[in-house]
Structure 1
């Protein structure tokens, strides 16, 4: 059964409600219920039963989703200890002696996001709490922090072949090669596609460009101006002395090693557990990586509990309760992700992505424009579904055969799919990385989307024209030209703002 335009309604409803109500869980639930009502012919009883049995239960039982939820719980406990154990504050105060300007803070956060390449989810929830006190101290907005986190999570992860993202993408590529009976390596194609991930490259490079030039604009500039008027957090003041309780416990007893050592434990666990499998130089199965990462966070949490108790920062029972509280605090994240996964699966059942592809395919275009339109297809699907991975799965069977038929390099077609999926994902308020980035920065989701959207749209527009150039030239010079165009736009917009202000 084809639902046509009706298949788009659940996604549109969730997006509109998220913007209007600022309540993501309520908005996602309404979108999910609207979708299941369509599938159940408007019967509310059958819709409720199907939503719980056919979607909620199945999503939780899915091993990938269950693994992510367990990972998030352990990250939540670990992050709670970092936030309230004093390690992050102590590290931030120590780093502030070096990172003493807004530029250094932004570049440091950007570099941290690049270094934590192995997990798009961990970037937001690990880097965010570390740099949040510094951003507050230096009067940088939480919206800016959320944008940096979002732009160094999936955009960085999608460039790495030996983590879950790369494994998944190469699996999609290899499946098409088998159908086409072509003798091409999926790994080589992935590597060839990296220079053609135009949007991804622009998203990562825009952060240092904005930070160095100090040329924020539109909604982000408003957020930055507002942040300058807020008082700095008391605990970041150099003369601030943390009070002690009657037993001598105090945050003042903490030190930077309470942050550094647990993070090193996470990396060490990954190397010890995955090293025999070839990590980080060979592909690692996604499930094995998630298990190793979860183990790393668990061991880091145990170490942090021992350090907090050993340095007499908190009592043992308070420390453990704080860890559990952190895990419980991730319940809203887990619910949000469950609803996002449910909505994505439901849209697949409704044929939303297929309908969008069919509508966009009806546009007449020449072969050299195929990469640009693949990029647009991916952006539309990813924005509507909130899933870049689902977009990859939908478009790879279309993009690679089209490249094969019209003699377009596979790397360009794959790069267009990945860039389009990331662009739509960045713009969508129902994307899990968008949601987690706002939570990692403790920034309202709607404010994060509102401030990030202009930057994402600028990169998206440049990437679209970049893929037109790539279609004509089959050369990675299209990416170089796109980067030059981004620099020109940033400086041009600032010139326009100054001229407008002078008038």
Structure 2
């Protein structure tokens, strides 16, 4: 049943169940079981083997699966960092320090968005690092965790996908280079093509404009407004009855010995360690050639994250240990308890990620993405609507499979082949549309690893994050789709981008009329 209409059933089952039941692991499990049975033509024994393989692949894929295991270890290390910056009083000290300089909710929101844009190296790293720094400040100013998760998610993949100096940019440039090879009508290099594609990524343009506007103005709608109303009027930042990945269960002793450096130094060394390791591994894998594009194309992201995580976690533990001499609330027994509490806080996120990877593995075996791509490739479709159609298809693929990388990895070569034969002038817009759709689908999918990590970084219930982000993502997608229709018909980037900007301006004027939420005193 591979590469057939039946291949789309497992992701549909998982997504529908997760939206109806709000129970992520149960829903992912249902999708995994359905995928295993469909993949094996409903043979119980073979299905059990596939179920085992789907989970085992996280740890062993024709050898030790360092990529996945190192990502999971990085998550656990981040939990340890969170525990010890709390134990040492660093989170409290940083919140006190920031509150003297950031005087409003607006300032806290703008800082979060700025940090999201600034940390553009990798979306995983962005999602978790921004949450660590921003959460004490957004908590202080009663910004809901769902809103924080939205800010994190909307400045992770959208920035990485248009940044040439990122793990995303390096991979995309490599794919674009293979597409352009042998195309006589294209005279630009892969990096030039990538840079031209950036302003054609209308979803990124729209989503970034919306997230900045929402940060600057107190505008919320849909489920997000309910979360913000609760946060502002009652101080309830999240539903304590729901599962919160990354939330500490341990009650740490309160004290006033914490310093800002107890939070900033571990995070700084986490960043420095990760970026340095990315440069070093990329340099080594590129044959010790110092070419920044080649380095980022060959960098080892999981090893780099693990390196930075170990450096940040060990620093946070050492800073706490140094307090034992003068802080009566600090003692050596809390070191072991802190490590255990940090690991336990991330178990939920780790399990969700493992289940999501298992479903992704089985969906790959079912060739779900290939089926959707083939359906478009075989259709007799007017070339003018191909960009918008590729945008929508990439969105559906990323939403269904939970992976933007898998979606654009499949669709970019197909789009390149289609457009080189049908309408070469629309090649770059079509490739940009694929990337835009992949990010859009990733934003909306409850089984996306980036979405899961954004929830974890923010300390938000995962389904709350998905549901509150949907209206913003869909709004940006509608605007982007209009942009791709215009560029498909006119072939003009100026007209399409102008249309997107005009719609955004009208939308912002309309949103500005919304009544703000009033805080109760």
Residue 269 (1) aligns with residue 285 (2) = no
C-alpha distance 300-3 of structure 1, shift in aligned 2 (>3 A): closer
Distance of 1:326 and 1:492 partners within structure 2: 44
CA shift for structure 1 position 390: 0.6
1:490 match: 508
1:100 match: 103
Match of 1:117 among 120, 129, 152: 120
Deviates more, 1:429-438 or 1:285-294: 285-294
CA shift for structure 1 position 133: 3.1
Pairs aligned (count): 481
Residue 317 (1) aligns with residue 333 (2) = yes
Matches within 5 A, 1:411-450: 411-450=428-467
Matches within 5 A, 1:342-491: 342-360=358-376, 365-405=381-421, 406-471=423-488, 472-491=490-509
Distance of 1:379 and 1:212 partners within structure 2: 28
Q: Is the 8 A contact 1:64 1:287 kept in 2?
A: no
CA shift for structure 1 position 409: 4.5
SS, match of residue 311 in structure 1: helix
Q: Is the 8 A contact 1:408 1:474 kept in 2?
A: no
C-alpha distance 207-280 of structure 1, shift in aligned 2 (>3 A): farther
Residue 256 (1) aligns with residue 273 (2) = no
Match of 1:297 among 309, 313, 316: 309
Q: Is the 8 A contact 2:90 2:260 kept in 1?
A: yes
Residue 308 (1) aligns with residue 315 (2) = no
Residue 220 (1) aligns with residue 224 (2) = yes
Deviations 1:356-406 (A, max 9, x none): 234445665422222111111101111111110010111111111223221
Distance of 1:328 and 1:479 partners within structure 2: 47
SS, match of residue 256 in structure 2: helix
Q: How does the TM-score come out when normalised to structure 2? A: 0.86
- Unmatched 5+ residue regions in structure 1? 234-248, 499-503
Deviates more, 1:299-308 or 1:99-108: 299-308
Residue 148 (1) aligns with residue 165 (2) = no
1:244 match: none
2:140 match: 137
C-alpha distance 129-162 of structure 1, shift in aligned 2 (>3 A): closer
C-alpha distance 56-231 of structure 1, shift in aligned 2 (>3 A): closer
Distance of 1:279 and 1:203 partners within structure 2: 32
Deviates more, 1:323-332 or 1:151-160: 323-332
Residue 283 (1) aligns with residue 286 (2) = no
SS, match of residue 120 in structure 2: coil
Distance of 1:331 and 1:25 partners within structure 2: 12
C-alpha distance 177-483 of structure 1, shift in aligned 2 (>3 A): same
C-alpha distance 488-96 of structure 1, shift in aligned 2 (>3 A): same
Q: Is the 8 A contact 2:277 2:308 kept in 1?
A: no
C-alpha distance 224-70 of structure 1, shift in aligned 2 (>3 A): same
Q: Is the 8 A contact 1:209 1:487 kept in 2?
A: no
1:80 match: 83
CA shift for structure 1 position 275: 5.1
Deviates more, 1:75-84 or 1:450-459: 75-84
Deviations 1:438-459 (A, max 9, x none): 2222222221111110110000
Distance of 1:43 and 1:36 partners within structure 2: 9
Deviates more, 1:428-437 or 1:184-193: 184-193
C-alpha distance 275-376 of structure 1, shift in aligned 2 (>3 A): closer
- Unmatched 5+ residue regions in structure 2? 238-252, 284-289, 516-521
Distance of 1:270 and 1:129 partners within structure 2: 15
Residue 30 (1) aligns with residue 30 (2) = yes
Distance of 2:266 and 2:494 partners within structure 1: 40
C-alpha distance 281-92 of structure 1, shift in aligned 2 (>3 A): farther
Distance of 1:317 and 1:279 partners within structure 2: 48
CA shift for structure 1 position 85: 3.0
CA shift for structure 1 position 304: 1.5
SS, match of residue 355 in structure 1: helix
